């Protein structure tokens, strides 16, 4: 067969399977987002729309890789995706799984850019993301992994919020960036909280949960309120033409079916991992 004398090169393609029956976590991170966020005038320290764009790109990944991705957590320019232990995607080949997620996330980020950032916000150059895949043997490492990422969210957000408050103070106290760094050097959390409260009247705990807790995406049951809404919609639509009856059908079908939930909650404590209201059974 033509080409068979060349086909031996295939033997150089070594398999890279991940061990069976272990959790996999893929973390993607924006490349050079310090520059990217400046170039696109992201608000400091947190740009709500830019974070929503990250969340939307992540939802694309979770949807597309259903049911293998069971949880995603994002903050800043990064997102972590947890794959269930029984995942058999690409026969568990690490490079295939990793590149698929990085590629899908990146293209979704670009695809959704104008919808979320606004049509007038030009994408000035192609954003890229790097990624890594790590295997973890037990639920303990998984919970500690996500606790580690959320603790990072908190530390960075508290620092950045205090830093930019010091820099932007619109009175004679306004420090330059260098002096703000100096002021915060060596301070512990309680001191930053105190600066925020006494100098700027900011109660850190009242700031947006998305900024403080990051974003967690999980499959879950709809809440009783959402079900009531769906029922209301369905009832209102009864007998009112094809569009309405389709909505009704959708409302009916979604009842009890797992749907994507976007949360900004504590995932360090054990409640998140065991709460029956969020998902029947344990998450991992």
CA nearest 283: which of 51, 69, 2? 69
Please, which residues bridge with residue 215 across strands?
A: 74
Tell me the closest approach of the beta carbon of residue 92 to Mg ion, in angstroms.
18
Tell me the closest approach of the beta carbon of residue 79 to ligand DGT, in angstroms.
12
Query: Residue 177 or 229: which CB sits closer to ligand DGT?
Result: 177
29 part of the interface to Mg ion, by CB under 5 A:
yes
187 part of the interface to ligand DGT, by CB under 6 A:
no
Environment class of 218 (CB within 10 Å of its CB; exposed 0-12, middle 13-18, buried 19+): buried
214 part of the interface to ligand DGT, by CB under 6 A:
no
47 part of the interface to ligand DGT, by CB under 6 A:
yes
**Position among 33, 79, 81, 145 found at the interface with Mg ion (CB under 5 A):** 33
Q: How far apart are CA 254 and CA 274, in angstroms?
A: 23
Report the partner that residue 34 touches, choosing among ligand DGT, Mg ion, none (CB closer than 5 to 8 A by kind): ligand DGT
| Span near ligand DGT by CB under 6 A; candidates 14-22, 45-53, 80-88, 104-112 | 45-53
Tell me the closest approach of the beta carbon of residue 38 to ligand DGT, in angstroms.
7
CB 29 within 8 A of CB 149: no
Report the partner that residue 156 touches, choosing among Mg ion, ligand DGT, none (CB closer than 5 to 8 A by kind): none
CA nearest 214: which of 253, 272, 257, 281? 272
CA nearest 26: which of 86, 90, 66, 78? 78
| Span near Mg ion by CB under 5 A; candidates 21-29, 138-146, 150-158, 271-279 | 21-29
| Residue 107, SS3 per DSSP | helix
| Span near Mg ion by CB under 5 A; candidates 22-30, 131-139, 157-165, 199-207 | 22-30
Which residues does 170 contact at the CB level (< 8 Å), separation at least 6? none
**What's the DSSP call for residue 183?**
H
Site residues (CB under 5 A) for Mg ion, limited to 64-93: 76-78
Tell me the closest approach of the beta carbon of residue 144 to ligand DGT, in angstroms.
21
Strand 23-30 to strand 78-83: parallel, antiparallel, or no bridges (unpaired)?
Answer: antiparallel
Write b or e for each residue in 191-209: b if 16 or more Cβ atoms lie within 10 A of its Cβ, otherwise e: ebbebbeeeeebebeeeee
**Position among 28, 50, 71, 142 found at the interface with ligand DGT (CB under 6 A):** 50
Q: How far apart are CA 189 and CA 206, in angstroms?
A: 16
Site residues (CB under 6 A) for ligand DGT, limited to 4-43: 29-34, 37, 42-43
**Position among 23, 46, 71, 101 found at the interface with ligand DGT (CB under 6 A):** 46
268 part of the interface to ligand DGT, by CB under 6 A:
no
Tell me the closest approach of the beta carbon of residue 23 to ligand DGT, in angstroms.
24
**Cβ atoms within 10 Å, residue 85:** 19
Residue ranges that bind ligand DGT, judged by CB under 6 A: 29-34, 37, 42-44, 46-47, 50-51, 76-77
Residue ranges that bind Mg ion, judged by CB under 5 A: 29-30, 33, 76-78
């Amino acid at each position: 067969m033509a080409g068979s004398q060349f086909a031996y090169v295939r033997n150089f393609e070594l398999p890279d399977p991940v061990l069976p029956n272990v959790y996999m976590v893929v973390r993607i991170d924006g490349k050079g987002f310090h520059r990217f966020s400046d170039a696109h005038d992201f608000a400091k320290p947190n740009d709500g729309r830019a974070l929503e764009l990250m969340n939307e790109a992540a939802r694309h990944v979770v949807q597309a890789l259903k049911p293998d991705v069971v949880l995603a957590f994002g903050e800043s320019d990064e997102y972590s995706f947890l794959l269930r232990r029984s995942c058999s995607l690409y026969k568990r080949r690490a490079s295939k799984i990793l590149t698929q997620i990085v590629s899908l996330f990146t293209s979704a980020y670009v695809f959704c850019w104008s919808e979320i950032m606004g049509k007038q916000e030009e994408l000035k150059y192609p954003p890229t993301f790097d990624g890594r895949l790590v295997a973890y043997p037990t639920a303990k490492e998984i919970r500690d992994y996500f606790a580690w990422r959320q603790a990072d969210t908190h530390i960075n957000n508290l620092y950045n919020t205090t830093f930019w408050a010091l820099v932007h103070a619109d009175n004679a106290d306004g420090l330059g960036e260098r002096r703000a760094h100096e002021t915060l050097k060596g301070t512990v959390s309680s001191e930053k909280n105190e600066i925020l409260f006494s100098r700027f009247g900011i109660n850190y705990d009242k700031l947006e949960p998305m900024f403080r807790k990051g974003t967690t995406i999980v499959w879950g049951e709809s809440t009783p309120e959402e079900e009531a809404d769906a029922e209301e919609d369905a009832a209102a639509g009864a007998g009112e033409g094809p569009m309405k009856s389709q909505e009704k059908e959708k409302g009916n079908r979604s009842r009890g079916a797992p749907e994507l939930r976007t949360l900004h909650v504590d995932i360090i404590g054990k409640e998140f991992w065991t709460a029956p209201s969020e998902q029947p059974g344990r998450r991992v």
